[in-house]
């Protein structure tokens, strides 16, 4: 069946979560990249762990907790001022260079489906200037991807059967969660990583969003 809509992950797919490195480096010289990597890793871990425990907290809360952990683990002093400065960076993450042109060139309906809570994702999308038919957050369901009910949000909003929805993510675990649900999946493999061993494979692996268009 022809694809009638494209649904995009946000963090790491459209927006570079590691664009915070410059601010991290400015606060803790020589530690910026290491902090950014650990912050992101704990952010993802906490979403999965909270989903399994059925102890949902908004993505903004999870992101703050992950930053606090990462700073303590690396022996970095995190003041309230520094916390707010770095959380503010998440509202202004840089889109990847291929994103603006690719979004403009892709035909049909386009939506975002993200772990991001509205207080984070809505200002970020507005700041980017990117246009979508819908921005969907897991916050409505109080659980995180890759729970199947999260992907079902796109069906309810776009009114298109799942066989006609193309899901786009650079996070392989997310792409395979969408594949398990029944979407046609495009995995953006920017880093040349192997496919996760979760029993599924993407329908198409691409190097850039421009390959979609």
209 in Cβ contact with 188 (< 8 Å)? yes
Residues 28 and 30: their CA atoms lie apart, in Å, by 6
Nearest alpha-carbon partner for 158 in 106, 107, 109: 109
Q: Which two tokens stand for residue 199?
A: 């029993």
Q: What are phi and psi of 137, to 5 degrees?
A: -115, 145
Residues 6+ apart with CB under 8 A from 9: 112, 113, 114, 145, 167, 168, 169, 170, 171, 174
Q: Report the relative pairing of strands 94-95 and 109-114 from DSSP bridges.
A: unpaired
- Considering the candidates 9, 98, 139, 174, report the single residue annotated as catalytic: 9
203 in catalytic set: no
Collapsing DSSP to helix, strand or coil, 185 comes out as strand
Residues forming the active site: 9
């Amino acid at each position: 069946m022809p694809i009638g809509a494209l649904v995009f992950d946000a963090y790491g797919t459209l927006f570079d979560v590691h664009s915070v490195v410059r601010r991290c480096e400015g606060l803790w010289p020589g530690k910026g990249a290491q902090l950014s990597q650990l912050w992101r890793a704990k952010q993802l871990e906490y979403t999965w762990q909270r989903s399994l425990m059925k102890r949902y907290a908004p993505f903004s809360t999870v992101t703050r907790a992950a930053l606090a952990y990462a700073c303590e683990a690396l022996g970095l002093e995190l003041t309230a001022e520094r916390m707010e400065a770095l959380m503010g960076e998440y509202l202004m993450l840089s889109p990847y260079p291929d994103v603006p042109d690719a979004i403009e060139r892709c035909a049909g309906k386009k939506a975002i489906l993200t772990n991001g809570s509205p207080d984070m994702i809505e200002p970020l999308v507005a700041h980017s200037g990117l246009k979508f038919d819908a921005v969907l957050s897991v916050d409505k369901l109080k659980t995180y991807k890759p729970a199947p009910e999260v992907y079902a949000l796109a069906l309810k909003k776009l009114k298109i059967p799942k066989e006609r929805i193309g899901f786009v993510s650079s996070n392989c675990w997310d792409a395979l969660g969408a594949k398990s649900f029944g979407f046609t999946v495009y995995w953006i493999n920017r880093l040349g990583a192997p496919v996760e061993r979760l029993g599924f494979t993407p329908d198409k692996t691409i190097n850039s969003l421009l390959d979609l268009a």
